[in-house]
Amino acid sequence: MRRAISSMIALLGGIVLAGPAGAEVSIVVDKTTQHMTVSVDGQQRYSWPVSTGTAEYSTPIGTFTPSRMARVHYSREWGNAPMPYSIFFTDAGHAIHGSRATNHLGSPASHGCVRLAPRHASILFDLVRVEGPGNTRVEITGMDPIGTGLAGVNGAGGDYSRLTSFDPLSVGIMAGGTARRSRSEISRSP
């Protein structure tokens, strides 16, 4: 009898200590579309615009597990920039976090992190906290859009000189030159 009671206590203790298993959270960030999809147990729950890294500070692609979380965090690397609701997913400090720069959501603008609107970051942070970082997968897919980091503000023209030495506004038909060039002119051009 004593043995049965001990076994029953051990079994119940194991159930209480283990607690309920958290749901599986999948966070998929597509750098090409600048969009995040959050699913819980395979069912899509949220879809939000994001800002990933510019060409100079590309967000790494791959599948990650959150390594730590901080409701309040300031970047020591970037002048104490606020990073509320941070979910860190690389050892190099890449995180999903809130940003007040909501006017840039939908286009690459960060130093490698994944930026969200503060309210969305809060919702995601609470979801990952409740379900557990160990039950969460962060998948970064896609590629940096062409021209990232080259254009000016709001898509205005930028300095593309590092890509080509040809300036269509000062040479050729755009600058009022002739539309046709002879074969000898073409072969002499750089």
Give pLDDT tens digits for 43-62. 999 999 999 999 889 999 99
Is 29 among the domain residues? yes
Query: Tell me, what's the pLDDT at 187?
Result: 52
Distance (Å, whole) CA 120 – CA 29: 14
Rg from Cα positions in the chain: 25
Is 187 among the domain residues? no
Q: What is the pLDDT of residues 12-34, one digit of tens each?
A: 554 444 445 789 999 999 999 99
pLDDT band at 3 (very low <50, low <70, confident <90, very high): low
Is 16 among the domain residues? no
Supply the pTM of this predicted model: 0.67
- Nearest residue to 87 via CA among 54, 135, 33, 42: 135
User: Three-class SS of residue 7?
Assistant: helix
Is 123 among the domain residues? yes
Q: What is the pLDDT of residues 71-114, one digit of tens each?
A: 998 888 877 788 999 999 999 999 999 999 999 999 999 999 99
Query: Tell me, what's the pLDDT at 81?
Result: 85
Is 109 among the domain residues? yes
Please give the residue range of the domain that contains residue 109.
25-141
- The count of structural domains within the chain is 1
Is 3 among the domain residues? no
Q: Which residue has the tokens 């050729």?
A: 172
Residue 120's CB: how many other CB atoms inside 10 A?
22
Domain of 113, CATH number, reads: 2.40.440.10
Is 88 among the domain residues? yes
Q: Could you give phi then psi for residue 74, rounded to 5 degrees?
A: -125, 135
